[in-house]
Amino acid sequence: MSYSVCVYCGSRAGAKPRYAEQAEALGTAMAEGGMRLVYGAGDVGLMGIVARAAKAAGGTTFGVIPQHLLDREVGKRDLDTFIVTETMHERKKVMVMNADAIVVLPGGAGSLDEFFEVLTWRQLGLHDKPIFLLNTAGYWEPLAHLVDHIVGQGFADASLLDFFKVVEDVPTLMSGLHRARAA
């Protein structure tokens, strides 16, 4: 089986064109690199952009969506694998269980929830998958500062900072994913 990458990202495209450009570049690069996209199965926002790019480049796609979001996120039914779950919690679990690495693109509250869940699971030793934040146009800088603050204020061990990497662009991200795949 190919290397699978769980991508968390916005169900909106965001305010800057660069967000969409990087989502498209990631979908294409993953497909060209033989990596399977595991994502939230939506056909809207950055989710739809990364999935359409992966499909257009001949990549394999694995989407997971809860029943209550089928209409809202326009469930993308032309995926290689399309799974409908009962709950959001189930969706997140299925996505992580079917991935070798996690990438977080710009997004809203849902993307933050997903990031902190996989970060917490890693901190608790429930997985050892690499986690990457794609810092498109500096989007994740406030989050990186917040995590530094959490550690600095004694609410987490400094090892928390080793559980994720902030990368600035898709080529750097792909290098990190290739290194993780080879390890």
CATH of the domain at 165: 3.40.50.450
Using CA atoms, how far apart are residues 43 and 73, in angstroms rounded to an integer? Answer: 6
pLDDT at 157 over 90: yes
Segment 142-157 shows an average pLDDT of 98
Number of domains in the chain: 1
Structural domain containing residue 109: 3-182
How far is the CA of 54 from the CAs of 23, 87, 121, 134, in angstroms?
10, 26, 28, 17
pLDDT tens track for 105-132: 999 999 999 999 999 999 999 999 999 9
Beta bridge partners of 28: none
pLDDT tens digit string along 77-103? 899 999 999 999 999 999 999 999 999
Over residues 7-49, the pLDDT tens digits come to 999 999 999 999 999 999 999 999 999 999 999 999 999 999 9
